[in-house]
Amino acid sequence: MALQISAAHSLARLAGTLAFADAGVQNSRIRLYATQQPNLGQDPGDLPLVEILLAKPCGEIGVTGLQLIQAQAGGDMVSMTGVAVWARWINGNEEIVADGVVSDGAGEGDFKLAGTTGTQLYAGARALLGQVTLI
């Protein structure tokens, strides 16, 4: 049987994640990459296709978990054309919060794009963060 934690403990963990993600002067950001996902902390292998700026605070804790919030409701400008494969979430101190897989809203990715079928991004377009919830 796997370790089970209480609801209060789960909320405390999410509050800690939110505090860490919001640490630093800058806003927390999610960078989407077209490269093969490296091990956590390793060089991403190229520049990001887009950097999604999160609000500050970067999310809200509700009954379903921590929901991330994009700062720009209209999305962030995509700088390079490519297929987003994975993402790196960083805090305002440039420290890694998490790495994960990218998918469209219907997919199983850790980070989801809204308004797309698949994860193809085009330079000059805008990237919208879909529902991203940590539980």
Bridging pattern class, strands 96-104 and 111-114: parallel
User: Taking a C-beta distance cutoff of 8 angstroms, is the pair 120, 83 a contact?
Assistant: yes
Given a cut of 70, the residues of the chain with pLDDT beneath it are none
What is d(CA 77, CA 121) in angstroms, rounded to the nearest whole number?
A: 10
* pTM greater than the 0.85 cutoff: yes
Q: Which domain holds residue 115?
A: 7-134
What is d(CA 122, CA 31) in angstroms, rounded to the nearest whole number?
A: 15
Measure Cα distances from 23 to 97, 100, 106 in Å.
10, 20, 31
In a domain, 2, yes or no: no
What is d(CA 129, CA 49) in angstroms, rounded to the nearest whole number?
A: 14
In a domain, 49, yes or no: yes
Name the domain count of the chain: 1
